Amino acid sequence: MAGVNALPDWLRHAVAYEIYPQSFADSNGDGIGDLAGISERLDYLAWLGVDVLWLNPCFASPMRDAGYDVSDYLTVDRRYGSNEDLVALAQAARSRGIRMLLDLVAGHTSDQHPWFRAACDHQDDRRYIFAAPDQVTSSLRYPRPGHAASIESGSVRWPGEGEAEAGSPGPQWVLSPGSRPGWYLPNFFPFQPALNFGYARMHEAEPWRQPVDAAGPRANRAALKAVMAHWLELGVAGFRVDLANTLVKDDPGQHETARLWREIRGWLDGAYPDAALLSEWNRPSVSGPAGFHADFYLAVGPEHGSLLNNGQGMALPGASPARPCYFSAEGAGSFEPFLAAWRADAAATGDTGLIALFSSDHDFNRPACGDRTAGQLGPVFAFLLTWPTLPGIHCGDEIGMRFVPDLPSVEGSEIWPGWNRAGSRTPMQWDEGVTAGFSSGPAGSLYLPLDPSPGRPNVASQRADPQSLLYQVRRLIALRKELPALRTGGAVRVLHAGYPLVYLRGGSHLVVINPAREPVTCAVPPGLAEPLVASGVTVAGGQASAEGFGYGVFSI
């Protein structure tokens, strides 16, 4: 896709870091992380070497889905601070060479948003999708409207994915809470009414459908631009768009959804050419041509899952691997599923966008999950930081924080039994103190319980140990920034896709990674190989030898 600025240089060379604000750093002792706490930890992030922060939602919200139910897009939720605190954070980060992306929930709001409250009392309001009382059959109604507990495994899908036939059953509808009779369409949880961006197809049995150019969808597109402009003017560098593929409903091939985002991107390129737009879509071949600078390989998706989902931790229906993941101690996985998907997506996106690959995220398991320990994560980060995707780190993964099982559901963290996201959202572990340095408040006041493991990792201890995982990650980030051949989008040639994984970057640097417990060897091109970063890997005489959980980057 042509644009005024097709891809900001700062994004092409970035290493990103996801911050879950309520769990990162608490500055006032109330047990909940806040913006001032993040500001106090910026020097750590600069030391680590990351230069893009992705901040999960911090807007005003009832917090029934941890901020992904927005009640005011233009106001910071008071538990995090103020708008002035967010501006100060963006400025302080930029002074350290770090840009900040906000999480933009574009497809739905909270049912407490003033837009929705108005729509529930005005028959002609088309900002949301409403159906008349007699247009929704009982089988498509929530049994307990407004309660997330009514969601059961398999009963909810994201509208807008667009493969169903027009008129076929979709997500369950929720009873209008106002004077307007009828039902509204949610986007995920029942308290998240879908904003109306139109339908790609009309159907006589569903008269609530409106075309994408109707007044309601046009108003929502304008509002989306206004929200983005507001924060870009205040110093934010761009947005990660939540559920970016769900805006236009019943959209086979997502052509209308893509057209909507191309319109947004065209406006963005003209008004804010240095801003970045990242999507939660998990289809780079579609989202790149649709105008996004980068798209995530989601931790719940097959590409990321074939690498790291060991079938432990959260039990996400349909996401458990059919075979062991590649980063398994048994060495029984395969790199080929990821490689095939990445090659296809990279060919389809070309220069239009990047593919983002994070260590994990707030919605799924951390790499240190189940029987995969922090001691096995060196190869994970060696791959993440030398493969030509846009790399990112979920806060705490760099020290090997583990997924904590058996936690209570907090603010909608449990989507259905077995899929409780709280285990990847526990407080950041800064030191060995009672509250791990996260808060000055009592341990019982924390947003989520700390990892109870007696040997839980922390930043302070690992900063004092040059051999720690934290230092390994820092060295790999520094090497990526030093060597253009290791950065996003550069050439890669896979020499061996088994154990060890061996590939060339830019024809000048050899990467050897062994995620398995047992030592392995592999033939490599003969010649001198100078180790730049190596842990348990040697290259000599045309052979690479890798100890268990070893990795190395070599100049050749």
Axis-axis angle for helices 215-233, 255-271 (nearest 10):
40
Q: Enter the tokens of residue 289.
A: 């041509």
Q: Which amino acid is at 385?
A: L
Q: Residue 354: helix, strand or coil by DSSP? A: strand
| Residue 160, CA atoms < 13 Å, CB-side half-sphere | 26
* Spatial distance between the Cα atoms of 462 and 469, rounded to a whole number of angstroms: 7
Q: What is the DSSP letter of 250?
A: S
C-alpha triplet 144, 150, 151: angle, nearest 5°:
145
346-377 pLDDT, tens per residue?
999 988 899 999 999 999 999 999 999 999 99
Q: What is the DSSP letter of 443?
A: G
Low-confidence ranges of the chain (pLDDT < 70): 1-5, 143-171, 317-322
Residues in the chain: 556
pLDDT at 154: 26
**Are 526 and 547 within 8 A, CB to CB?**
no
Beta pairing, strands 414-416 & 419-420? antiparallel
- 486 exposed, middle or buried (CB, 10 Å; 0-12, 13-18, 19+)? buried
**Are 22 and 66 within 8 A, CB to CB?**
yes
C-alpha triplet 443, 75, 39: angle, nearest 5°:
50
* Spatial distance between the Cα atoms of 102 and 263, rounded to a whole number of angstroms: 20
Nearest to 224 by CA among 216, 8, 281, 285: 216
Pick the CATH number of 493-555 from 3.40.50.300, 2.40.50.140, 2.60.40.10, 2.60.40.1180: 2.60.40.1180
Q: Residue 459: helix, strand or coil by DSSP? A: helix
Q: Is this structure's pTM higher than 0.85?
A: yes
Question: Residue holding tokens 């729509």?
Answer: 119
The residues, ordered by sequence, that sit 6+ positions from 396 with a Cβ below 8 Å of its Cβ are 366, 426, 428, 429
Q: Enter the tokens of residue 313.
A: 């931790």
Calculate the CA dihedral of residues 269, 275, 281, 287 and round it to 10 degrees: 30
**Are 321 and 348 within 8 A, CB to CB?**
no
Q: Enter the tokens of residue 353.
A: 């966008």
Pick the CATH number of 9-105+297-479 from 3.90.25.10, 3.20.20.80, 3.30.1860.10, 2.40.50.140: 3.20.20.80
The full set of domain ranges for the chain reads 9-105+297-479, 493-555
Q: What is the torsional sign of CA 289, 291, 297, 302?
A: negative
Residue 154: CB atoms within 10 A of its CB come to 9
**What are the b/e assignments for 199-235, b being 16+ CB within 10 Å?**
bbbeeeebebbbebeeebbebbbeebeebbeebbeeb
Q: Residue 224: helix, strand or coil by DSSP? A: helix
* Spatial distance between the Cα atoms of 289 and 354, rounded to a whole number of angstroms: 11
Helices (H) and strands (E) in the chain, counts: 13, 21
pLDDT at 416: 83
pLDDT at 97: 98
* Spatial distance between the Cα atoms of 156 and 84, rounded to a whole number of angstroms: 38
Q: What is the DSSP letter of 38?
A: H
What DSSP element (H or E) covers 33? none
Nearest to 7 by CA among 201, 214, 238, 225: 238
Contacts within 8 Å (CB) and 24+ apart, 72-81: 72/113, 72/114, 73/227, 73/230, 74/227, 74/230, 76/35, 79/22, 79/30, 79/32, 79/34, 80/21, 80/22, 80/32, 80/33, 80/34, 80/35, 81/34, 81/35, 81/36
